[in-house]
């Protein structure tokens, strides 16, 4: 069964130790078509393709121009559209 997670995530450019460019995603997601009880109480690592479809939105250019840490994002910082200057359709 395809599992659908809908949510918000912080996207940050990064590099691996060998210099390979990657994107780091930090986010909060709500399961759309399966219960949260399907996920263990301990850590899990999922390997999947994250496919960005039309209808998504990208916010950029934080209003206060301060970089948001992944930890702050997970605690709710910069999750409101009003925290960002620019909005684009994906």
Would you list the domain boundaries of the chain?
5-33+47-89
Q: pLDDT tens digits, the chain, 90 residues: what are they?
A: 799 999 999 999 999 999 999 999 999 999 999 999 999 999 999 999 988 888 889 999 999 888 889 999 999 999 999 999 999 998
Residue 84 in contact with residue 68, Cβ under 8 Å? no
pLDDT at 55: 85
Enter the pTM of the model: 0.79
pLDDT at 13: 95
Q: With CA atoms as reference, report the closest residue to 30 among 54, 4, 49.
A: 4
pLDDT at 30: 93
């Amino acid at each position: 069964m395809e599992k659908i997670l809908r949510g918000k995530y912080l996207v940050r450019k990064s590099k691996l130790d060998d210099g390979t460019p990657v994107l780091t995603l930090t986010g909060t997601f709500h399961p759309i078509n399966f219960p949260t009880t399907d996920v263990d109480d301990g850590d899990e690592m999922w390997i999947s393709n994250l496919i960005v479809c039309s209808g998504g939105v990208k916010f950029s250019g934080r209003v206060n121009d301060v970089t948001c840490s992944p930890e702050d994002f997970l605690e709710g910082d910069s999750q409101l559209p009003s925290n960002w200057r620019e909005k684009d359709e994906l």
